[in-house]
C-alpha cells in the first residue's frame, strides 16, 4: 500500500511522460480554459465582424493554451492520492496506517483536541485554510492558527454559540449567540452586536459579495453588507425554523433545508425563492455544495444522501442509501464527507468528471460517544476538520485539497502586508448583491426576453412582413385552361397579400385606437397647421 499526501511532499513521478499523453492532457486543460468554445462564425454574414471575431477567438485560444501550459508545467505540487494493491480497499485504510506513510509535516495534521466541557464544536476555516475558528456550544470561541498550531485567541462568551463564521479574513469573525449575533475582532474584542437579526441559528459569509447571511429561529433570512453595515435583505422564508444553511460558492446563492424535506435557494434581491426543491420525504438534515457549484448534496432524516445536478434540471444524480448525515461537506477536489454520530464517511467520485458516481472512499470512526457536529475540509490541505462534542479533531483524507494555491485567491502564507493589500483588492472587487443569481455567467449577456401582453409596433411590423412574404410565396394551383390566366393569378396573389395585410392593419388599429383618443389635441393641432405643412402632419 502506498499513501501519498499532497503538496509539500516532493515525491513526483519521474516517469518520462509520452508526448502524446501530454498533448491529450494539455488539450483537456485548454478546453477547460476556453470556457466552452467559440460560436460558429460561419453563420455570420458580416465579413469584417467575422474577421474581428476570428482574431479575438485566436487570442482566446492562445490565452487558454498558455494557461494550460502554465498549469501543466509550472504548478509544483500534485494532488495526494491513496493507492491500494489488489484486493485492498481504500476505505479499509485507517488513519494510523496513513500516519506511517506520510511525511512528518502531514502527520502533524492528525490530532484530537479534547475539550469536554464546552459542548459540541462548530468549525470554520478561512479561505486560505490558515486559520480555524472553533465555536463551542457553551460559549467557547477559539481562533487557531493551523500552520503552526498556535492558539491566537480564545474567549468565553458565556452564552450559547450556535454557529461561527469567518468574515473575509481572519481579522474578523462572527458568532451566532444566544440572543444576537456578534462580530469579533481577531483579538476577541466585540466589534458589533447584530441585533436586527434576532436569535441567529446559522451564519454564512458570502466572500465575493461581503454579505453576512444568517437565518434566525423564526426562519428569517437576513443579508447584511459587512462593509457598511446595511441590511441588504430580510426575507421571510415562510418555511419555519431551520438550521440547515449553506452557500453555493459558485454563485452566492444561499440554500436552506427545511423540515418538509424541501431545499430552497435564495438571493437577496428577491423575496421569493429562486428554486424550491423537494429533496427528501423527511426533514433535511444537511446541505453541501460542490466548489464548482454544479453539484449539491443533501441528506435527509430518512437515512439517505442525495446528490443533485444544479446545472440544468435540478435532477437527482445519485442516492446513497442507509446513511444519515448530520453534516456534509465537499472538499476542493470534490470529495464528499458525511458525518453522523461518531462516524465519518468520505465519498469519492470514482467515475470521470462528466458522470458523477460517488462511492465509498474512506471511513473514520471517532471514539464512541463523540457526537460529530460539523465537518469541514481544510482548504489547500488534505485535512478534514471534525468538530464534535468533545472538542475537535483533524484527520488526513488524501486527495481532498487543492494542491496549488493561487496567492491572488487565497494565500496560506500571507504576510500582514499582503493581507492588507488583499483586503483592499477584495473591497474594490466587491460584487453588488444583484449579481447573485443562479447562472452568473449570464451577466453581461442579452436580457432574457420578457413575455409581453401586447406585441410592440416593431414586432407587429416584423410579423406583418413575414406574413406578406409567406402570402407571396404561396404557389397557386394550376387550374383548368380558362381559369389559369396570368392576369387572374396575379389578381389572386394580390388578394392573398391584401388579406395577409388586413389582419395586421386591424391589430395596429386596435393598438393605436386608445392613443388617438388620448391625443385628440394633436389632431386639433394638425388642423391648425398652415396648409403647406399639413402634408407632413402624421395621419392617423
Partner 1 sequence: MGEKRKSTSKTLVKSKKSKGPHLPNSILKTIADAKRPLNSDEEDDEIDSDDVNGGDLYEYEEGVPEEESKKNNRYDRVDNYEYELPEDFEDEDVESDDDEDGGNSDNDDEEEGEGDDDRHTRMLQSLTGMPSAAFKGESKSKPVLFTEAYPESEFNPTRDVLEGKGLITMEDLLAPLQGKPGYNELSKRISRMQKDTESVVHAPLPKPERERLERKVVKVQVEKEFNKWVPLVKRNREVPTVYFNQDVNLGYSTIGAIASEFQPRTEFEKKMASVLNDSEVWDAHKEDGARLLELNEVSVEDHIKDRNRVAKMRSLLFRHELKSKRIKKIKSKTYHRLKNKGLKAAAVALMDPEMAKEVAMKQEVERVEERMRLKHKNTGKWAKRMISRGLNVKYDGTRAAISEQLQVHETLSRKISSTKDGSSSDESDDDEELNNGSDQDTPSKLIAKAREKTLQTVEDDEVPNSGLLSLPFMARAMKKKNEEANEEAKRALEEYEEWENSGGAENLKKSAEVSGRRVFGATAKVEAPKESKRESDNFYDNSDSDNDMEGIENNDLGPVRDIASPAKNSGAITETEKFDDVVGNPASKTTFDVALFASGSWKKMKGCQNAESKKPPKTLVPISESQNKKELRDEESEDSESEAEQMVDGILTSASKETYEIPSQADLIQRAFAGDDVVDEFEKDKQAVLNQEVPEPEKPVLVPGWGQWTNIQNRRGLPLWMVREHEDAKKKREQALKTRKDARLKHVIVSEKVDKKTEKLHTTALPFPYTSKEVFEHNMRMPIGPEFNPATVVGALNRPEVVKKAGVIIKPLKFEEVNPNDKGDDGNHQKQRPKKGSKGQSKSKRKTKA
Assign 479 to helix, strand or coil.
coil
Residue placing its CB nearer to partner 1 in the complex, 52 or 490: 52
305 CB-side CA count, 13 A? 28
Assign 23 to helix, strand or coil.
helix
Positive/negative CA dihedral, 232, 235, 241, 243: negative
Q: Report how far residue 170's alpha carbon sits from residue 128's, in angstroms, rounded to the nearest whole number.
A: 10
With vertex at residue 324, the alpha carbon angle to CA 323 and CA 329, rounded to the nearest 5 degrees, is 95
Cβ-in-10-Å burial (0-12, 13-18, 19+) of 142 comes to: buried
Q: Least distance from C-beta 63 to partner 1, angstroms?
A: 4
Q: Least distance from C-beta 443 to partner 1, angstroms?
A: 5
Q: Least distance from C-beta 195 to partner 1, angstroms?
A: 12
Q: Least distance from C-beta 240 to partner 1, angstroms?
A: 12
Q: Least distance from C-beta 496 to partner 1, angstroms?
A: 26
Q: Least distance from C-beta 441 to partner 1, angstroms?
A: 7
Cβ-in-10-Å burial (0-12, 13-18, 19+) of 156 comes to: middle
Q: Least distance from C-beta 253 to partner 1, angstroms?
A: 12
Q: Report how far residue 453's alpha carbon sits from residue 472's, in angstroms, rounded to the nearest whole number.
A: 29
Q: 308 with 316: CB under 8 angstroms? A: yes
Residue placing its CB nearer to partner 1 in the complex, 99 or 489: 99
Residue placing its CB nearer to partner 1 in the complex, 69 or 485: 69
Q: Report how far residue 366's alpha carbon sits from residue 195's, in angstroms, rounded to the nearest whole number.
A: 38
Positive/negative CA dihedral, 3, 7, 10, 13: positive
Q: Which three cell numbers stand for residue 398?
A: 488524501
Q: Report how far residue 186's alpha carbon sits from residue 423's, in angstroms, rounded to the nearest whole number.
A: 15
Interhelix angle for 47-69 vs 19-34, to 10°? 130
Q: 174 with 213: CB under 8 angstroms? A: no
Q: Least distance from C-beta 194 to partner 1, angstroms?
A: 15
Q: Which three cell numbers stand for residue 32?
A: 477547460
Amino acid at each position: 500500500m502506498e499513501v501519498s499526501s499532497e503538496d509539500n511532499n516532493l515525491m513526483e513521478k519521474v516517469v518520462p511522460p509520452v508526448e502524446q499523453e501530454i498533448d491529450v492532457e494539455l488539450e483537456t486543460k485548454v478546453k477547460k480554459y476556453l470556457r466552452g468554445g467559440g460560436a460558429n462564425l460561419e453563420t455570420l454574414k458580416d465579413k469584417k465582424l467575422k474577421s474581428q471575431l476570428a482574431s479575438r477567438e485566436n487570442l482566446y485560444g492562445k490565452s487558454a493554451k498558455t494557461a494550460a501550459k502554465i498549469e501543466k508545467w509550472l504548478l509544483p505540487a500534485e494532488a495526494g492520492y491513496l493507492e491500494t494493491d489488489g484486493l485492498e480497499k481504500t476505505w479499509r485504510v485507517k488513519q494510523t496506517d496513513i500516519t506511517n506513510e506520510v511525511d512528518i509535516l502531514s502527520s502533524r495534521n492528525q490530532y484530537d483536541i479534547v475539550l469536554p466541557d464546552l459542548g459540541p464544536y462548530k468549525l470554520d476555516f478561512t479561505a486560505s485554510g490558515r486559520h480555524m475558528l472553533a465555536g463551542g456550544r457553551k460559549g467557547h470561541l477559539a481562533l487557531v492558527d493551523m500552520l503552526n498550531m498556535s492558539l491566537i485567541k480564545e474567549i468565553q462568551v458565556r452564552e450559547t454559540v450556535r454557529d461561527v463564521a469567518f468574515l473575509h479574513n481572519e481579522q474578523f469573525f462572527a458568532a451566532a449567540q444566544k440572543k444576537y449575533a456578534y462580530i469579533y475582532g481577531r483579538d476577541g474584542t466585540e466589534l458589533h452586536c447584530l441585533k436586527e437579526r434576532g436569535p441567529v441559528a446559522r451564519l454564512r459569509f458570502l466572500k465575493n459579495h461581503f454579505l453576512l447571511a444568517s437565518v434566525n429561529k423564526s426562519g428569517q433570512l437576513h443579508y447584511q453588507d459587512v462593509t457598511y453595515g446595511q441590511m441588504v435583505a430580510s426575507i421571510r422564508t415562510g418555511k419555519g425554523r431551520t438550521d440547515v444553511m449553506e452557500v453555493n460558492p459558485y454563485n452566492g446563492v444561499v440554500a436552506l433545508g427545511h423540515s418538509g424535506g424541501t431545499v430552497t435557494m435564495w438571493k437577496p434581491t428577491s423575496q421569493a425563492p429562486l428554486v424550491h426543491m423537494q429533496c427528501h420525504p423527511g426533514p433535511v438534515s444537511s446541505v453541501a455544495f460542490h466548489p464548482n457549484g454544479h453539484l449539491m448534496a443533501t441528506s435527509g432524516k430518512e437515512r439517505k444522501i442525495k446528490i443533485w445536478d444544479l446545472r440544468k434540471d435540478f435532477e437527482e444524480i445519485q442516492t446513497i442509501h442507509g446513511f444519515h448525515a448530520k453534516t456534509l461537506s465537499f472538499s476542493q477536489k470534490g470529495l464528499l464527507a458525511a458525518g453522523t454520530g461518531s462516524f465519518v464517511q468520505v465519498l469519492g467520485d470514482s467515475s470521470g468528471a462528466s458522470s458523477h458516481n460517488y462511492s465509498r472512499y474512506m471511513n473514520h470512526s471517532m471514539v464512541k460517544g463523540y457526537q460529530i457536529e460539523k465537518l469541514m475540509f481544510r482548504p489547500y490541505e488534505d485535512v478534514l476538520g471534525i468538530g464534535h462534542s468533545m472538542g475537535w479533531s483533524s484527520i488526513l483524507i488524501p486527495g481532498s485539497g487543492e494542491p496549488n494555491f493561487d496567492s491572488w485567491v487565497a494565500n496560506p502564507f500571507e504576510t500582514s502586508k499582503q493581507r492588507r493589500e488583499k483586503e483592499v483588492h477584495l473591497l474594490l472587487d466587491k460584487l453588488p448583491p444583484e449579481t447573485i443569481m443562479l447562472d452568473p455567467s449570464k451577466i453581461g449577456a442579452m436580457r432574457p426576453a420578457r413575455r409581453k401582453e401586447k406585441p410592440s409596433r416593431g414586432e407587429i411590423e416584423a410579423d406583418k412582413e413575414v406574413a406578406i412574404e409567406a402570402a407571396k410565396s404561396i404557389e397557386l394551383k394550376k387550374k383548368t385552361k380558362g381559369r389559369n390566366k396570368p392576369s387572374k393569378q396575379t389578381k389572386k396573389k394580390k388578394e392573398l397579400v391584401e388579406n395577409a395585410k388586413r389582419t395586421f392593419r386591424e391589430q395596429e388599429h386596435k393598438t393605436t385606437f386608445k392613443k388617438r383618443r388620448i391625443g385628440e389635441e394633436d389632431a386639433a393641432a394638425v388642423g391648425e397647421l398652415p396648409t403647406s405643412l399639413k402634408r407632413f402632419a402624421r395621419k392617423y
